[in-house]
Structure formats: structure tokens, C-alpha cells
Chain A
Amino acid sequence: MEVDREFKIVTLGEGRVGKTSLAMRYVRGQFNEKEQSTTNANFLEKNIRINETSIKLNIWDTAGQERFRALAPNYYREAKGALLVYDITDKESFWKVVSWVEELKMQADKDISFVIAGNKCDLELDRQIPKEQAIAYAKQIGAAHYSTSAKSGMGVNECFEEIAKLILDKESRSGSPIRSSKARSRVIVKNQEEVVKKKKSGGCC
């Protein structure tokens, strides 16, 4: 199958906020309540279609514990997008997102696009981070904010596709080569499953 563009995306955030669960929900449509803790990184792929462009997302899902932070530059190097995840029931994890943003701004690819995901929205009753505060912060750094739940699947496709869309937008503005004629990228969420099915049945080019 032909792929027009390939983007590297890295997931970052404190340990146990649900980075792996989000990635697995997105890539495989599965949720495993008993997800093991990540000690290095998981490498996952997913093909999607945004407007006319077929995109392969390479998702580098990193370990969250502070001690492994020294390894992170290996993983976010050359990443075009970062999904910064916090747990809405854990204040600390939100401040970790803020510190990741600072680090990425200094160290990572300067065109990197951010999307912030407030995960575990199924636990709304235990929320510790007001949604407005998170959205205001996202706005301030020019990122999108999504409320997600890897458990229910809420907002998961949207947040990953938003990253792809942001990257495409940035590239079209800076004039990098994109095959589709006009990269006014609107994410076709509804049709995506059909597209994937079609590809699997594998008829056309």
C-alpha cells in the first residue's frame, strides 16, 4: 500500500497516566485494564487518511518514570508531533506536561506540534485539573487539548488525528512537499474505518 507521508509521533507524560493505553486503543482498538508498565518504549504504527493524503503514523510510546527521562531525547529526536498526556485525576501529572513542553521547545525539532490529552475522563468524579485551566494552557502554547479516555475510547482517534492534521498544516505553510494538491486538512474520522477496511481487502492501489 502506498503511503504519501510518514510522521513520527512521541507520547510523553508521567508514569501511569495512560500513554500506552491511549496508543494501544488508537492503533489496535483494544483496552487492557492490566497494561504492564513500560520500561523503555513501544513502537507502534498506524495508517490513516486525511483528505487525500495517506499517512503512516509511527508512534513512539515512551516510559514515563522520571528516572528514564535521560532516555527521552533518543525518542523525541526528529519527532514531528508530541502527544502530551496527563491524568485528569492527578495534579502532578499536569505539571509534568508543562515541564515536557518546556523541554521539547528547547530540545526537540522546532516545528514539533503539540497535542495535550487529559486522559481517564471516565473518572470525571475524581477530576483534579479543571478542564478550563488545561484548555487555557494548551491555547497559550498553541496546542490542541482533548479530553480522552482510553477505557471508553472517547477522544482517542481525534487526538492522534489532530496531531497529523497539525503537522500537515505546518508543512503546507512552510511549503514542504505534500502530494495532495491542497492540504487544507480536515480529518475524516467517520470514513476512516471504511478506508481502512477497503485497504485491508486490498483491491486498488
Chain B
Amino acid sequence: MKLKFRREHSRSKDLEEKTSISPLYIHHSPQCLCNHGNLFLRTFENFLKEKTKHGECINSLKWKQFHSMPANGDALYKVINQIQLEGPNFNHSRQQIDLDVQRTFPDVDYFSHGIGRPVLRRVLLAFAKYNPNLGYVQGMNFIVAVLLWHTSEVQAFWFFVALIEQYKLVDNFSQDLPGLEKHCRVIEHLLKESMPSLYEHLSENGVSMHMIISDWCFVLFMNLIPIEQTGWILNKFFKYGWSFIYKLILEILARLKAKIMDCRNIMEILSAIKPYQSTQEGRKKFIKALENGWERLDWHKLARRAQSRFIDENYVKHI
């Protein structure tokens, strides 16, 4: 596929001229209100609108510093969309995508009633064509949806490709989940170092790292964060990579430590760390449970606190 893709890479200009382009919403405007966040940005926004064609999200501009899309990204994306692919892998992906787009942020209007859903479907399908060996895996839907929330369709696609390839999300999603194994080992080590009593309590009660961190790693917390706050977490992830996610996990566990230590069995522990939440309401509850005393916490603050934690970066790099 990669070879095929490269071939198309060089021919993309011809193709673009020859084939009529289906009405893709290449430049639908981002939904997020990241630019409305503070006074400085509000006044800055007009300037941004002039500078950038579509009034791009301030956060997505930061991500671009780390990953700009290919020069002919627009054309390439259109070509990928036009590829006709058949085969058991792809058909399976398509089937699963069709099911999952309906249940990706169903409580967010943009995805339940807006244009978000068909666009999300298209980006996921395009990725399944771009990398048919990996195909579509559940969890991708939340990450792509969040990217779409902040940026245009084409840009979201290329950000996702960067996350998969350069940020090694591919290891999380490929067969036997080797990435997850690694993350579990890292967290286990870091937890042992920084909170030995908590680690002991967890292992005594038979709580494995998988149970705690699998979904957090699969979706980078994206289905747990109120969608309007997702930009802050992605900012840090684009900048610091996995070491930020490890710190965030440690920060969350540190904040829940007292509660966890009071739990007497695995079920109580898991309910404390991973209460059921699939609505915006539930997501708010999760962050509320992390507050210490009078503290008012949001994911921005949590991300900052997490990033200031010390972890053994050498260990993380070399594992």
C-alpha cells in the first residue's frame, strides 16, 4: 500500500486535474472556541483571521509547529478518498466505521446533528485506505473527532497520520497491542518509583496496569475530556509526546491515591479510578473527583501540573 501510495504521490497533480473532485468539505470551519478563550486571544483573533484563511484554532496552529502537512496535502487527501479499495480487511474497517461514527460524541451536536459525522466517517475511511494493514480500530474515532473539532478535514487527516506514524500510536492499535504493553511497563516502573505504597496496594488487589491505562492510552484521554478542553491536552502531547501522557497518568493516580488506598478490593479500586462515563456530565464528574480540597480543576490546569512532574526520561526513552 505504501508503494502504491508513493506512486500516487507523484501522480497526484495529474490526477487532480483529470478527475472531478467530489464535494468534500475540505475547509469546513473548526467548531472549537479555543480562540475565544481569553481577552488577549479575542483581540488577536482578527489578526489571525487575516493571517490565516479560515480563522484557524490557536491550538491547531501550535500543533502545526510540530507537524505541518505535506505540501500537496490537499490534493493527496482527495486522491486517497477516491481510491476504490476492496478486500476483507478494508470491508471490515468500513463496517466498523459505519457503526462507530454514530456513537462518537453522540452528545455533541456537531457530531450528532451537524456535518461532523459524515466528515468523521470520511477521514476514518481515508485512513483505512491509507494504511489498510492497520485499518480502523476503535479509539481512532475519538481522536479523529477531536482533531476535526479543532481543525479542517484535510488538516485533521494529516495530524492523525502524524500521530499514528511519528507518535507511535500505530503500536497501540496494531495486532497484539505492543504499544500498550510498553506503556504498561513504563507506568508500572514509574509508579513503583514514585508511589510505592500505591503500587503495592494495586498489585495486592490484583489490579493490573492494563485495567487502568488501556483506554487512556488508546484514545489519549479524548473520550474522557469535555470536548472543548481537549486542545490543551493535545498541545502537550504534540510537544512532549508519550512522556506527557505518562505524567498525566501519574498525576491522576496521585490525586486519587487517598481514595484508592481506602478501597478494599479490586472492584472498589476500579470503580474509583474508572467510573462509568459516556456523557459530558460523566466527564465533568471525573475531573471533579481529582480536585484537592477547594481547588477548582480543569484539564488545562491538570495538564500543567502533570507536565511539571519529574519522571525518569532516560528510562522512558530506553525501554
Contacts and interface: CB of A to CB of B under 8 A. Distances in A.
Interface of A: 6, 8, 15-16, 20, 24, 32, 34-37, 39-45, 58, 63, 65, 67-68, 70-71, 74-75, 78
Interface string B99-139: 11001111100001000000000000000000000000111
Contacts of B180: 71
27 contacts: A6-B267, A8-B267, A15-B96, A15-B138, A16-B100, A32-B279, A34-B103, A36-B278, A37-B104, A39-B139, A39-B142, A40-B215, A40-B274, A41-B214, A42-B274, A43-B271, A58-B267, A65-B96, A67-B137, A67-B138, A68-B177, A71-B177, A71-B214, A74-B208, A74-B211, A75-B211, A78-B206
A36 B103 contact: yes
B138 A39 contact: yes
Given A34-B103, A35-B103, A36-B106, A45 B210 contact: no
B84 interface: no
B267 A45 contact: yes
Contacts, number: 80
B242 interface: no
A168 to B, nearest CB: 19
Interface string B203-244: 000101011001100110001000000000000000000000
Contacts of A34: 103, 106-107, 112
A16 B96 CA distance: 9
B12 interface: no
Main secondary structure of the interface of A (DSSP, over half): mixed
Given A40-B215, A74-B208, A15 B137 contact: no
A37 B137 contact: no
- For the complex of A and B, 3 pairs with smallest distance between CB atoms: A34-B106, A40-B215, A36-B278
A57 B307 CA distance: 39
B138 A70 contact: no
A67 B223 contact: no
Given A16-B99, A40-B218, A41-B211, A65 B177 contact: no
